[in-house]
Amino acid sequence: MTEDNEKKMINRINELYHKKEKEGLSDEEEKEREKLHQEFIKNFRAGFKQDVENLVIIDKNGKEITSEKAKKAQRKKGLRKD
């Protein structure tokens, strides 16, 4: 999803939220709100997962302590050579 599309989605979610608070939503608008909300959550989770999988953790002594699960995901993506 492009940044522009994400902004449009967030703006529409906010519009629907404010309308819901002021006057309520029609069934069609409620379905649209739910669909947009689910899409937003899906994109957020995918981005968060990618951030976590790309994370390298170093302890205070300079030793890498990244989890094996994260290392495996990084190897699969070609980010690690070990």
pTM: 0.74
User: Is residue 17 in a domain?
Assistant: yes
CATH number at residue 12: 1.10.287
Secondary structure, 3-state, the chain: CCHHHHHHHHHHHHHHHHHHHHCCCCHHHHHHHHHHHHHHHHHHHHHHHHHHHCCCCECCCCCECCCHHHHHHHHHCCCCCC
User: Is residue 78 in a domain?
Assistant: no
Domain count for the chain:
1
How far from the centroid of its chain's Cα atoms is residue 30's Cα? 22
User: Is residue 48 in a domain?
Assistant: yes
Percentage of the chain beyond pLDDT 70 is 100
pLDDT in tens, 64-78: 999 999 999 999 999
Domain that holds residue 9: 3-56
Confidence of residue 22 (pLDDT cuts 50, 70, 90): very high
User: Is residue 37 in a domain?
Assistant: yes
Which residue type, as a one-letter code, is found at position 82? D
Residue 81 has pLDDT above 90, yes or no: no
